[in-house]
């Protein structure tokens, strides 16, 4: 059997290594309940045929799924600094370029909205329908999906929005938010709140399920940072039609979490965040976050994931109005020159590997190419957006991005676009809290701005409350009509924290359109209960040890370390 394992590793690469868990659980070895060659076994993985590619087969890796523990986690371990968690070995999918390969870059930067050959420009489907799976994750950049028609009922219509939601998956099966408030993150250090900070993603998901039974959203908008700390634990560069769930993060952290009446079967339309690229490196499986759009070969996929490109457009037609959605990648604002800001830079020379810092032909092809690759992407997107917005005939224009449109994160660009084309709403994340700005304290007014970075994948910026009387963890329920959009910010315990209504922003206008009918917000309190912060002595405040955790490694990794990185 050892010879079989060795031969398998020689052909397909090593299986993920499961180190000791954070709470002292032993590492995982081969699953004794699965025979080699079966799904989930340690033998040769099955070969799956990919339709549309000449019947060619490719390998889908399925390591043993982590066992789920129901044992209570000791209170003194709730505040374990998940940033020190060592991930499984980064998987290399068949087709990933060799570390030493030198390939010409083919960065797909379409400056105009385009429709794939053979797609009916007048088609209107009931679900968002991406084109066939491409070879490279960037091949569909700038694409316009077929219109979606939701005309089987009268409104109002509901749409949820969420970001920064996927927690750290432990070998035991335990999922916990990445601990960004620990002592190792100095300025961010704050108390750890039991039943809030340790359960944030699960609490938000439960609140979404409870609300979905009432609102029945048509789809969910996802603003990125899908999995912490560093996205999908797969090396970038594999063909986009070879998506799989080798790390089990899709199954455990997405598919099994967001379920229930009103959520089951609802599609998630999203963008990538900086942590999807790897946080302080760029070679994690960001392209797998695109490839999972075509995850028909993954047995645990529910076919809800829609992220066909780094930037794309989708139009939804309702009975008496329509919405144009523009999904953009604005991670250029976290891509600096390699020797700058090593703690928060996807192009960091300190944290990217010396050998293998490449995503192959789709790019970036090297560490030094990284900043320019993201800059070229953003420049093309702005050009693309000018063309797309100028052609819009929809009543509503809504942006979905990761970085909020504030300050150095492109505020001037958004001001210009908002004024010129009448952008109604920008939905973003990145900041780990919940916030809505409209006419007050908003430099982009009357373009409304939603920040929903409190999905619970990482600890919030400020202290939450165990009963959700805060604006740290949560999601958004938007009610769409022809005349206005009602935005309800909900906390991780389902508390309605604020209710606001926006009307259209016309082109070249500095005031929102008037409303000649009764507002959806009429009679609803604009604010929820006053924010409560647990005070000293509150039993929800975890008692932490005085021993500070070891700082994150500040050295450049070499090829031998490539499978032990943590972001």
Token pair 């079989």 is found at: 4
More confident site: 43 or 498: 498
Question: Does 55 score more than 50 pLDDT?
Answer: no
What is the spatial distance between Cα 521 and Cα 243, in angstroms, rounded to a whole number?
Answer: 43
pLDDT-derived band at 171, boundaries 50, 70, 90: confident
Question: Does 37 score more than 80 pLDDT?
Answer: no
CB of 46 closer than 8 Å to CB of 60 = yes
User: Please, what sign has the CA dihedral across residues 410, 477, 452, 400?
Assistant: negative
Question: Does 182 score more than 90 pLDDT?
Answer: no
pLDDT tens sequence across 472-530: 999 999 999 999 999 999 999 999 999 999 999 999 999 999 998 999 999 999 999 99
What is the structure's pLDDT at 74? 54
Question: Does 73 score more than 60 pLDDT?
Answer: no
pLDDT tens sequence across 406-454: 999 999 999 999 999 999 999 999 999 999 999 999 999 999 999 999 9
| Candidate from 79-88, 338-347, 440-449 with smallest mean pLDDT | 79-88
Domains assigned to the chain: 1-73 (no CATH), 92-567 (3.60.21.10)
**% of the chain residues with pLDDT over 90:** 65
pLDDT tens sequence across 3-28: 333 333 333 333 333 223 332 232 33
pLDDT tens sequence across 183-196: 878 888 999 999 99
User: What DSSP string describes 388-432?
Assistant: HHHT--SSEEEEE-SS-SSTTTTHHHHHHHHHHHT--EEEE-SSS
Please provide the size of the chain in residues.
567
What is the structure's pLDDT at 99? 72
What is the spatial distance between Cα 192 and Cα 543, in angstroms, rounded to a whole number?
Answer: 8
What is the spatial distance between Cα 197 and Cα 177, in angstroms, rounded to a whole number?
Answer: 7
Question: Does 545 score more than 80 pLDDT?
Answer: no
Q: Name which of 352, 355, 385, 383 is nearest 370 in CA terms.
A: 352
What is the spatial distance between Cα 243 and Cα 9, in angstroms, rounded to a whole number?
Answer: 20
pLDDT tens sequence across 227-266: 999 999 888 988 888 878 888 899 999 999 999 999 999 9
Question: Does 33 score more than 50 pLDDT?
Answer: no
Q: Name which of 174, 178, 76 is nearest 459 in CA terms.
A: 178
pLDDT tens sequence across 89-146: 467 777 777 776 677 778 889 999 999 998 999 999 999 999 999 999 999 999 999 9
Question: Does 63 score more than 90 pLDDT?
Answer: no
């Amino acid at each position: 059997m050892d010879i079989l394992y060795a031969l398998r590793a020689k052909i397909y690469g090593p299986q993920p290594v499961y180190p000791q868990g954070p709470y002292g659980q032993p590492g995982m070895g081969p699953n004794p309940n699965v025979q080699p060659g079966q799904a989930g076994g340690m033998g040769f993985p099955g070969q799956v045929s990919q339709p549309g590619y000449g019947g060619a087969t490719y390998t889908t890796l399925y390591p043993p799924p982590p066992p789920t523990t129901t044992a209570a986690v000791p209170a003194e371990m709730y505040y374990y600094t998940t940033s020190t968690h060592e991930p499984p070995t980064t998987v290399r999918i068949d087709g990933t370029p060799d570390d030493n390969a030198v390939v010409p870059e083919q960065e797909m930067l379409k400056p105009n909205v385009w429709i794939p050959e053979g797609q009916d420009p007048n088609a209107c489907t009931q679900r968002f329908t991406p084109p066939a799976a491409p070879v490279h994750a960037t091949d569909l950049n700038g694409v316009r999906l077929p219109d979606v028609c939701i005309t089987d009922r009268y409104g109002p219509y509901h749409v949820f929005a969420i970001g920064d939601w996927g927690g750290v998956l432990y070998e035991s099966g335990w999922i916990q938010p990445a601990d960004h408030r620990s002592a190792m993150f100095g300025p961010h250090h704050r108390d750890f709140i039991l039943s809030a900070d340790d359960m944030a993603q699960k609490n938000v998901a439960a609140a979404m399920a409870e609300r979905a039974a009432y609102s029945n959203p048509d789809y969910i908008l996802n603003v990125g940072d899908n999995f912490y700390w560093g996205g999908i634990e797969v090396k970038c560069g594999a063909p986009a039609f070879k998506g799989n769930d080798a790390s089990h993060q899709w199954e455990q952290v997405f598919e099994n979490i967001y379920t229930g009446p009103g959520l089951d079967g609802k599609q998630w339309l999203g963008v990538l965040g900086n942590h999807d690229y790897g946080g302080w490196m760029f070679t994690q499986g960001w392209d797998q976050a695109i490839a999972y759009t075509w995850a028909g070969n993954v047995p645990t996929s529910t076919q809800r994931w829609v992220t066909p490109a780094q930037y794309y457009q989708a139009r939804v037609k309702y009975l008496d109005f329509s919405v144009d959605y523009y999904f953009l990648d604005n991670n250029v604002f976290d891509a600096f020159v390699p020797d700058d800001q090593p703690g928060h830079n996807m192009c960091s020379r300190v944290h990217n590997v010396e050998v293998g810092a490449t995503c192959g032909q789709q790019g970036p092809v090297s560490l030094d190419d990284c900043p320019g690759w993201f800059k070229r992407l953003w420049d093309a997107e702005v050009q693309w957006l000018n063309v797309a917005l100028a052609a819009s005939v929809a009543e509503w224009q809504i942006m979905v991005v990761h970085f909020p449109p504030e300050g150095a994160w492109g505020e001037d660009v958004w001001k210009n676009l908002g004024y010129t084309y009448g952008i109604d709403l920008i939905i973003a994340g990145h900041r780990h809290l919940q916030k809505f700005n409209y006419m007050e304290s908003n430099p982009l007014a009357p373009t409304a701005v939603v920040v929903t970075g409190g999905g619970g994948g990482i600890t919030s910026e400020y202290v939450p409350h165990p009963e959700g009387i805060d604006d740290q963890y949560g999601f958004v329920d938007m009610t769409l009509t022809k005349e206005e959009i009602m935005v309800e910010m909900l906390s991780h315990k389902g508390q309605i924290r604020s209710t606001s209504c926006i009307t259209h922003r016309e082109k070249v206008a500095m005031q929102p359109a008037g409303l000649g009918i009764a507002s959806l917000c009429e009679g609803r309190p604009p604010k929820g209960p006053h924010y409560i912060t647990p005070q000293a002595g509150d039993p929800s405040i975890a008692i932490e040890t005085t021993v500070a955790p070891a700082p994150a490694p500040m050295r450049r990794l070499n090829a031998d370390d490539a499978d032990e990185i943590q972001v």
